[in-house]
Amino acid sequence: MRFFVIGLAHTKTVDPINDPSFAGCAYTAKAWYLCRMLTERGHEVYHIGNEGSNPICTRQLNVGNPEQWTARYGGRRPTDFFDCSDNDYTASFYNQARKTVQHSGGEAFSSIVCLPFGQSQRLAVEGLSQLVVESGIGYGNAFADFRVYESYAWLHHDMGRLLGLWEGDVWDWAVIPSAKDVDVWGPAVPTAQKENYFMCVCRLNADKGVGDACAAARTLGIPIKIVGQGNPEPFLAPGVEYIPPVAQKDLVPLLCKARGLFSYSHYPEPFGNIAVEAGLCGCPVITTDWGVYPETVVQCKTGFRCRSPEHLLAAAQSVDTIDPFVCRAWTEANYGLERVGRMYEEYFFHVSRGVRARKTVDLGWLNTDYSTLEARS
C-alpha cells in the first residue's frame, strides 16, 4: 500500500526519543511513529514535511521554506507552548503539501493520505481524490469520513455530544492508541530501589491537575518533580522541583526511579501519552477516572484512578503496592509498535476495501492483552 503522511507545519518530524530538537509535540510523534510502523511493515511511505525532518520512510518530501520556518518558529524556547495557529506559512506549507500529493500520488484512490493533526491540516487535502484518514484524533473538530481516534472516550465524545450519532453507525471510525517504542522506555525498577519522589509531566496548566499533584505531595511530605511547557511559578513551593522540558530519553531515568506519576487531567483526556510512557518505566500512575484513563490504567494493577481528593491522597500513599513489572508488562503488550502497527494495517485494509485485493481479515486486531496483570517481581 502507498501512504502519504503529512507532517505539521509548525514542527519538524524528528525522532521523539533521541533528537534534542524534539520538544514534546504529541502529534509530531504520531507522524514519526506512523511512518516508522508502516515502513517497517513493508509499505510505501512518503512523508511530506519541513526540511530537517527525518522519519523512517520510503522518501522524505520537503515542502515549505526553511528560512521562513526559522523566522517564525526557530526562536521557540523549550518552555514555550507550540504556536499552532493558522498563518501565511501554514497556508503555504499545506498548499504545497496538497500539490505534492497530486504530483506523486498516482491514479485516483491509489493512495491513502494520513493527517496526524486533523482540522489544522485540512487545506492539504482539499479536492484530493486520494482516500484521506485522520490518523490520530485527540482534538476537536475532526472532519474526515475516515477516522482513527486515540481512545474510545474520545470516539464516543464525538459520536454523542458533538454529532448526536446515538446509533453508533460509523463503520469507518476506529480506535487505535498511540504507539511507543518499548525498547527505549524502562527498564522497570523494583519498588525497593525507587527513590522518594513523585513526577508530574505535562503542560503546566491548572486543567492538567498540576496543582492537585503538588498539593498531594506536599501533604504527604514527599518531593515532586514537575516537567513541562509553560510557567511553573504558580506551582512552586517547598518540595516542588521544576525541570524544563527535556528529550524523552532524559525522562526515562526520572520515571524509572519515581515512586509514582500524577497524570490528573480535569477534562476528558483523549490519550495522555505520559501515563503510558510511565507504565513502560514501571512507574505507577495516579489519574482521574474519566477520559482515556479507564482504558490505559488498570485499577490497583498499574495505578489508581481517583474521583476525590481523598482518593488522590490514598492512591499516593498506596503506590508501593503496585508491581512495577506488571506496569511494564501491561503497557509493553498493549502499546508497543508491533501491536499498534498491526492495528493500523488492519484498519487501512478495511477502509481501502474495493480498491485493492483484501488480505485475510485479522479479527484479533482489537484484542487487549490482560494476561500480563499477574505480579512478576
Q: What is the DSSP string of 155-198?
A: HHHIIIIIT--TT---TTEEE-PPPB-TTTS-----GGG--S-E
20: DSSP letter? T
Cis-peptide, bond into residue 232, ω within 30° of zero: no
pLDDT at 76: 82
Give the pLDDT band of residue 23 (cuts 50, 70, 90). low
pLDDT, tens digit (0-9, with 9 covering 90-100), for 219-234: 999 999 999 989 999 9
Helix H, strand E, coil C: the string for 323-347 is CHHHHHHHHHHHHEHHHHHHHHHHH
Domains in the chain, start-ordered, CATH in brackets?
A: 2-179+337-366 (3.40.50.2000), 191-331 (3.40.50.2000)
pLDDT, tens digit (0-9, with 9 covering 90-100), for 317-376: 999 999 999 999 999 999 999 999 999 999 999 998 754 555 678 899 999 999 999 766
Angstrom CA distances, 199 to 138, 148, 210, 286, stand at: 23, 30, 10, 10
Q: What is the mean pLDDT of the chain?
A: 92
Give the pLDDT band of residue 139 (cuts 50, 70, 90). very high
pTM: 0.94
The per-residue DSSP string of 21-84 comes to T----HHHHHHHHHHHHHHHTT-EEEEEE-TT---SSSEEEE-S-HHHHHHHHTT--TTSPP--
Q: Is 141 exposed, middle or buried (0-12, 13-18, 19+ CB in 10 A)?
A: exposed
pLDDT at 25: 83
- 251-271 mean pLDDT: 96
Return the SS3 of 353: strand
H or E stretch including 277? helix 273-280
Count Cα neighbours of 352 within 13 Å in the Cβ-side half-sphere.
25
Q: In what order do the strands lie in the sheet with 131-137?
A: 59-62, 44-49, 2-6, 112-115, 131-137, 146-149, 173-175
Largest CA distance in the chain: 64
pLDDT at 20: 57
- The yes-or-no verdict on residue 178 having pLDDT over 90 is yes
In angstroms, rounded to a whole number, what is the distance separating the alpha carbons of residues 134 and 122? Answer: 10
Q: Can you name the residues that pair with 2 across neighbouring β-strands?
A: 44
**Which is nearest to 199 in space by CA: 180, 230, 173, 223?**
223
Q: Is 269 exposed, middle or buried (0-12, 13-18, 19+ CB in 10 A)?
A: buried
Among 76-90, 249-263, 266-280, name the one with the lowest average pLDDT. 76-90
Give the pLDDT band of residue 166 (cuts 50, 70, 90). low
pLDDT at 243: 94
pLDDT at 361: 85
In angstroms, rounded to a whole number, what is the distance separating the alpha carbons of residues 345 and 27? Answer: 19
By the 8 A CB rule, do 142 and 134 touch? Answer: yes
Angstrom CA distances, 227 to 57, 245, 272, stand at: 31, 6, 14
pLDDT, tens digit (0-9, with 9 covering 90-100), for 78-119: 778 888 888 999 999 999 999 999 988 766 667 899 999 988
- The yes-or-no verdict on residue 377 having pLDDT over 70 is no
- What nine digits make up the cell of 90? 501554514
pLDDT, tens digit (0-9, with 9 covering 90-100), for 45-72: 999 999 999 999 999 999 999 999 999 9
The percent of residues above 90 in pLDDT, for the chain, comes to: 77
123: DSSP letter? G
In angstroms, rounded to a whole number, what is the distance separating the alpha carbons of residues 275 and 110? Answer: 37
H or E stretch including 241? strand 240-243
Give the pLDDT band of residue 129 (cuts 50, 70, 90). confident
Sequence-distant (6+) residues with CB within 8 A of 78 are: 23, 229, 244, 245
By the 8 A CB rule, do 162 and 139 touch? Answer: no
Q: Cell 514555550 belongs to which residue? A: 80
